[in-house]
Amino acid sequence: MSETSVAKKARPLSPHLQVYRLPLPAVSSITHRFTGIALTVGTLVLTWWLVAAASGPDDFDTAQHVLGSPIGLLCLLGWTWAFGYHLLKGIQHLIWDTGTGITNASAQRSSALVFGGSFVLTAIVWIAAFAL
Amino acid sequence: MASTSDNGFRTRLGRVRGLGSAKSGGAHWLAYRMVAVLLVPLTVWFLISIVRLAKAEHADAIAWLHQPVNAVLLLITLIATFHHAAAGMREVYEDYIHGKLARLVAIGLTNGAAILLAAASVFAVLKIAFGA
């Protein structure tokens, strides 16, 4: 009888989506997708910037002006973070593809590293951009 | 039985291609990974470059792209980026769009947009690189 209750306690619980707190690697995984989608949309801006540069000083100045406006800078800040995050998470995935680091503890650590690193990378890029 | 299907002149192998595994998934997977590996150093280079061009005047951007090393690396970065973006978006569609036609349309439109943006951005870079 007591053995049964112990076995019951040890059973894994089925995640209930409304109350289930996603583990860090799961949050990290869905963030990878979101940043990937955002960066795909961002290629529109990159193409626009290059085409503006090719079409002449006036169009390029317009592009630089828009990107340098408060909303433009906010978008670029978000873009930088998405870029850094997707880069680091991508490296994590490439390492996972070799069969390395696929344990709960390791995934927890490396996912935290990806989040932390993405903010550090964003800070470095923006400090460098304003300092140079 | 005969090698053609009941509805048409295509072979069974011809019909199954594109409808699931026709032994090409491995190549797709590997190409996605190879391009991702390539993008790690390229995007780091790109990020450093645009930090240095953050406050660039038109002449600075043009002078930067007049250097063959920058033009060539940027061309490779652009093509790899659009390949990676299209492959990534396809993965998202395949996971979340369940209607066969809707999925096909989404993948097709994304591939078309990726080709268009890749061509426009590559043309812009070449125009500047070859321009006076």
Each residue's pLDDT tens digit, A13-27: 777 777 778 889 999
Cβ proximity of A82 and A42 under 8 Å = yes
The Cα-based distances of B18 to A52, A104, B12, B15 in angstroms read 39, 36, 12, 8
pLDDT at B116 exceeding the cut of 90: yes
Residue stretches of chain A with pLDDT short of 50 = 1
Assess whether pLDDT exceeds 60 at residue B126: yes
Query: Residue A131's pLDDT is what?
Result: 86
Instruction: Locate A94 and state its tokens.
Output: 């490439």
- Under DSSP, the state recorded for B56 is -
Cβ distance A42 to A86 under 8 Å? no
CB B86 within 8 A of CB B111: yes
Domains of chain A and any CATH numbers? 23-131 (1.20.1300.10)
- Check residue A69 and give its pLDDT: 94
The position carrying tokens 């400090």 is A127
Give the model's confidence band at B18: pLDDT under 50 very low, under 70 low, under 90 confident, else very high.
low
pLDDT of res. A71: 96
For residue B125, what pLDDT is reported? 97
Instruction: With CB atoms and an 8 Å threshold, state whether A129 touches B54.
Output: yes
Q: Which of A47, A128, A132 sits opposite B117 (nearest CB)?
A: A47
- Average pLDDT taken over every residue of chain B: 89
Q: Do B85 and A87 touch (CB under 8 A)?
A: no
ipTM of the complex: 0.85
Cβ-in-10-Å burial (0-12, 13-18, 19+) of B97 comes to middle
Does B52 sit within 8 Å of A57, measured CB to CB? no
Whether residue A32 is annotated as binding a ligand: the answer is no
DSSP-based helix, strand, coil % in chain B, nearest 5: 75, 0, 20
Residue that wins the pLDDT comparison between B29 and B62: B62
Q: Does B104 touch chain A (CB under 8 A)?
A: no
Instruction: For residue A21, report the phi and psi dihedrals to the nearest 5 degrees.
Output: -85, 115
In the prediction, which pLDDT does A12 show?
74
